[in-house]
Amino acid sequence: MEKMQTSSESMGHEAEPSFAEMFEASMKDRGGEPVKEGEIVKGTVIQVTKDYAVVDIGYKSEGQVPISEFLNAKGEVSIKAGDPVEVLLESRENDTGMVVLSKEKADKMRIWDDISAACERDELIEGTIVGRVKGGLSVDIGVKAFLPGSQVDIRPVRNLDKFIGERHKFKVIKFNKKRGNIVLSRRVLLEKEREEMKKETLKKLKEGAILTGVVKNLTDYGAFIDLGGIDGLLHITDMSWGRINHPSEALNVGDEVRVVVLKFDPASERVSLGTKQIQEDPWHRIDEKYPPGTRVHGKVVSLTDYGAFIELEPGVEGLVHSSEMSWTKRFKHPSKIMNPGDQVEAVVLDVDAKGKRISLGMKQIEPNPWTLLEDKYPIGSVIKGQVRNVTDFGVFVGVEEGIDGLVHVSDISWVERIKHPGEKYKKGDEVEAVVLNIDVENERFSLGIKQLTPDPWETLNERKPVGTRAHGKIIKVTDFGAFVEIEPGIEGLVHVSELREERVENPRDVVKEGDEVDVKIIDINTADRKVALSIKALAHEGDEDYREYLRKQQTESRARLGDVMKNLKK
């Protein structure tokens, strides 16, 4: 029977179609196209298990999609039975006879289609920068795309990492679906936006206009401000009326600032900006604000060899000259008593508003110790002190801290011939001296050591009156006579005419230095500290007219001494 049936079937009937052929035939009958592998199809979730979602696409068997493809950002399953879903038909059946489906690949394919369509319509794509790759950044736009470093911003970016995590719109500049290659640009969009902004900004740009901008870049000499499509330079000298060493002291990149247009060149599109010009010049009416005598506080901003500049307020500085820092202290450089950044107190001495100069004094805060010296050390009083310095012209003796008195070389001794004060004193010696004079205005304190004892010249007439015989040593011989020391430090002149009765042509023929001789005192001039001596007068001591002789000699000696002194001065 079976054989007959088989032969009859082969003779009169065709073989029955398979289920798949019947399914595709039924799809055609319903107006549908046969399902092809690699296409996106619509289906319905009929079951959700721990590992898979079972999806019915109307085919002879269902397909399984890994549940991991349906997890949301929180890791939760985002579907349930009955939900419609689009999946990619990877294979009509696997080893177990089930359809192989993928939602993830369907999503990616859909994204590629959307991107392709956006490219054709020249539309923008939005995405998130997710990481750093060689040459640029990786952007998630549903699929991974490449953003070259040169296309990130209008200007080169040193630190690309700061863009990671940011979401932006991009323009697709290269698209190859087969290779899976998508290249994006953000720079193109920024340039377009900047060009539009520039048109608007140029309408407002004119000298004197006050605009708002953003600090784009800082240099040693200033800051570049983005005014909206066009940059302007804010020079460091136009940032503040005050002193700024570097633009970073006043501004940071990204700061929003109000600026005034100082200069604009439409041809080159160069813009010079200022911020200090928006505020009033602090030197305006400065003489009213800081009249002489005003006490002020300020910060030391600069030190020089000659003084210190003190900032009283931003843009207003005054100079404390070194001579105005202390009444008594002496220093080589202002840095010995102050440093930049120190807060100090001073007194306004003078204001030159036109020249923008203020003279300050710090010592005027304290009483002038020199004004107290006259009461403390009256003329004629005796002080004790240490020798602080020895010079060619005298000795400085410490009176008080920072105040020295000068003993001039001429006030060291009444009678000693001192060529250099160092012959008698050295630094650190303790000495006594008499106050001779105090010059407060010029800050000079005059002392004398010889004044501690009486002037021997004032009593010379009493000790050795005219006519007295004296004994002494010749200390110097000149063409006009010989000088004889009759007392320590007191010398007299024996004129050449008083050496002998007979005429003497050359005193050196008669006497020499070191000789000890007797002389007669024939004249004493205390005011001029001069003594006239005679050797030949000794021969007339017993004469009856001796007094007349002395009177005559005295008159002649004064005339001769006068001529001698004139010749010495010449």
Domain segments of the chain as ranges: 1-31, 35-107, 205-278, 286-365, 369-452, 460-569
Q: Please say whether the structural domain 205-278 has been given the CATH code 2.40.50.140.
A: yes
CATH number of the 35-107 domain: 2.40.50.140
Calculate mean pLDDT across residues 454-475. Answer: 88
Number of H helices, E strands in the chain: 8, 30
CATH H-level, domain 286-365: superfamily: Nucleic acid-binding proteins (2.40.50.140)
Which of these, 568, 491, 567, lies nearest to 533 by C-alpha position? Answer: 491
Q: Are 145 and 139 in contact (CB under 8 A)?
A: yes
pTM for this predicted structure: 0.43
Q: Are 423 and 412 in contact (CB under 8 A)?
A: no
Radius of gyration of the chain (CA): 57
- CATH ID of 369-452, from 2.40.160.20, 2.40.50.140, 3.90.870.10, 3.40.50.2000: 2.40.50.140
Cα gap 414→379, rounded to integer Å: 19
Residue 17 confidence (pLDDT) above 70: no
CATH H-level, domain 460-569: superfamily: Nucleic acid-binding proteins (2.40.50.140)
| pLDDT score for 564 | 54
| pLDDT score for 300 | 93
Share of residues in the chain with pLDDT > 90 (%): 25
The predicted-structure confidence for 403-430, as pLDDT tens digits, reads as follows: 889 999 988 888 787 889 988 899 989 9
Enter the tokens of residue 157.
Answer: 């970016």
Enter the tokens of residue 504.
Answer: 């003497």
422-444: buried (b, 16+ CB within 10 Å) or exposed (e) per residue? eebbeeeeebebbbbebeeeeee
**More confident: 255 or 196:** 255
Which of these, 338, 329, 342, 335, lies nearest to 297 by C-alpha position? Answer: 342
The predicted-structure confidence for 289-307, as pLDDT tens digits, reads as follows: 899 999 999 999 999 999 9
The predicted-structure confidence for 22-43, as pLDDT tens digits, reads as follows: 445 544 443 455 566 667 788 8
